[in-house]
Chains A and B, each alone.
Chain A
Amino acid sequence: EAQVTQNPRYLITVTGKKLTVTCSQNMNHEYMSWYRQDPGLGLRQIYYSMNVEVTDKGDVPEGYKVSRKEKRNFPLILESPSPNQTSLYFCASSSGVSSYNEQFFGPGTRLTVL
């Protein structure tokens, strides 16, 4: 089954404790992206990757890191989480960047930083 998976699905942590949210897709997509969702703001892009070893900042990259060492994986790293990073996070992938390329979303990771 074609899918994007994320782990963990739920995470409660404390300020400053490094964490990684994993994302993996099995569709051989070149393009992957991370979004965060906050009430009243919709989804906003954090980082994206056009291919292996190619990453770039989205609209809200502060406090996050990413890496793309393999085509299928695109982990999101919070080196020193803060309470304002409490949010719902989505990983997405697509086969291209044309206007018609649908983005496939993972199930989401609900993060709470105390």
Chain B
Amino acid sequence: AQKITQTQPGMFVQEKEAVTLDCTYDTSDQSYGLFWYKQPSSGEMIFLIYQGSYDEQNATEGRYSLNFQKARKSANLVISASQLGDSAMYFCAMREGGAQKLVFGQGTRLTINP
């Protein structure tokens, strides 16, 4: 069965530092996709970055990068040069090929301190 684990309920980081949010997953499928979403206090889900299981390169989107280690089944989100506006809840999610749903982790609440 699909499963996503985020082991950091909360993180506190100083502004301008880099931060890594952990995500491990479990699946028996060879084809799957990994997604990261940001949820600010206003509540909406904002798509950040995607990594396919067959992608050889780590995904990057601006200040966001995904550290994908397939053998370890980990897909950590790295935010470089953190900003106050990065304070939010972050969710890691996975979709197996042909699956009807995204499976989400419990989320990590990130707080950026000035």
Interchain nearest-CB distance for A74 vs B (Å): 14
Residues of A within 8 A of B45 (CB): 90, 105, 108
Residues of A within 8 A of B102 (CB): 43, 45, 92, 103
Residues of B within 8 A of A33 (CB): 100-101
- The count of chain A contact residues (Cβ–Cβ below 8 Å) is 28
Question: Given A48-B101, A99-B95, A40 and B106 touching (CB < 8 A)?
Answer: yes
B15 contacts the other chain (Cβ, under 8 Å)? no
Cα distance A41–B33 when bound, in Å?
20
* Extra 20 A-B pairs, beta carbons < 8 Å, given A48-B100, A58-B101, A98-B33: A42-B4, A43-B93, A44-B104, A45-B101, A90-B45, A98-B98, A99-B33, A99-B97, A99-B99, A100-B50, A100-B52, A101-B33, A101-B95, A102-B35, A103-B102, A104-B47, A105-B45, A107-B44, A108-B44, A110-B43
| Contact across chains for A97 and B99 when beta carbons are under 8 A apart | yes
Residues of B within 8 A of A56 (CB): 100
Cα distance A56–B65 when bound, in Å?
35
Residues of B within 8 A of A110 (CB): 43
Residues of B within 8 A of A102 (CB): 35, 47, 50
Residues of A within 8 A of B91 (CB): 42-43
Looking at chain B, what size class is its interface with the partner chain? 20 to 34
Interchain nearest-CB distance for B57 vs A (Å): 15
A88 contacts the other chain (Cβ, under 8 Å)? yes
B53 contacts the other chain (Cβ, under 8 Å)? yes
Residues of A within 8 A of B106 (CB): 40-42
Tell which of B37, B43, B52, B107 touches A99, judged by Cβ atoms closer than 8 Å. B52
